């Protein structure tokens, strides 16, 4: 199948796949962009873990992009190693190319840019389709997430794929339970979204899964899902 990179074709695919099972949506991306599809997984959130498990049943050769910010919880590294071994995932680890020190304390946006966005942006040039575990119910900023989206980055097209965009938090938990997939140990300690240890706290706000990120600040996104520009034109 020829790659589908124009905005109109991507929106047509989104319409066809809007109610499709997550497995079918991810399979579409893998087949539409052979050798040019990657899946980003932080190994911190339950959704990403579910997506990694789905991928393992479809094509284990598809690269899983994992960003090591150098400030991740030790539990995240250990859990990632466990899942990679268990499900035979092909992981490509991305790391910062410059040392910005503890910038999280004074400028968390700049810290995320250097430690997350820049390494990922560099790697994204190798792919045409990028699948991730964004869900509409995670936070108000993600409420309009579609299963397939046409994005651009500095004039270059990239198709973003969100196979579980329409899942609820309970559906994610049920999937993990039914497939006996282990969960990140910190999820049992009051965390609902796990990033870097200086900027992640337990969360008692059941209505906002990401409320434990950057506590005390207005910041809600690291920038990884906002540095590309989504096209919504007809």
DSSP strand pairing (37-40 vs 229-230): unpaired
What residues pair up with 63 in beta bridges, in sequence order? 90
Query: In the annotation, is 112 catalytic?
Result: no
Q: Judging by beta carbons within 10 Å of its beta carbon (0-12, 13-18, 19+), is residue 35 exposed, middle or buried?
A: exposed
Q: Which helix (H) or strand (E) holds 122?
A: helix 118-124
- Residue 134's alpha-carbon distances to 3, 22, 28, 103, 142, in angstroms, are 23, 12, 17, 26, 7
* Residues with Cβ within 8 Å of residue 102, at least 6 apart in sequence: 198
Return d(Cα 168, Cα 22) in angstroms, integer. Answer: 12
Contact by Cβ (8 Å): 164, 172: yes
Number of C-beta neighbours around residue 62 at 10 A: 22
Catalytic residues: 222
């Amino acid at each position: 199948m020829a790659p589908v990179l124009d905005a109109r074709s991507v929106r047509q695919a989104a319409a066809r796949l809007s109610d499709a099972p997550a497995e079918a949506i991810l399979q579409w991306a893998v087949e539409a962009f052979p050798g040019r599809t990657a899946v980003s997984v932080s190994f911190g959130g339950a959704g990403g873990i579910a997506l990694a498990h789905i991928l393992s049943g479809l094509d284990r050769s598809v690269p899983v992009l994992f960003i090591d910010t150098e400030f991740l919880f030790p539990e995240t590294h250990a859990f990632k190693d466990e899942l990679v071994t268990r499900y035979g995932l092909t992981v490509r680890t991305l790391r910062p190319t410059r040392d910005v020190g503890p910038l999280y304390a004074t400028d968390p946006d700049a810290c995320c840019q250097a430690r997350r966005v820049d390494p990922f942006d560099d790697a994204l040039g190798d792919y045409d389709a990028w699948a991730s575990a964004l869900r509409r119910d995670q936070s108000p900023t993600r409420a309009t997430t579609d299963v397939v989206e046409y994005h651009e980055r500095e004039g270059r097209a990239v198709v973003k794929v969100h196979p579980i965009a329409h899942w609820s938090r309970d559906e994610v938990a049920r999937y993990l339970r039914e497939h006996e997939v282990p969960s990140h140990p910190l999820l049992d300690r009051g965390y609902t979204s796990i990033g870097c240890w200086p900027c992640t706290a337990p969360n008692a706000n059941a209505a906002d899964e990401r409320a434990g990120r950057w506590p005390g600040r207005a910041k809600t996104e690291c920038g990884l899902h906002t540095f590309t520009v989504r096209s919504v034109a007809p």
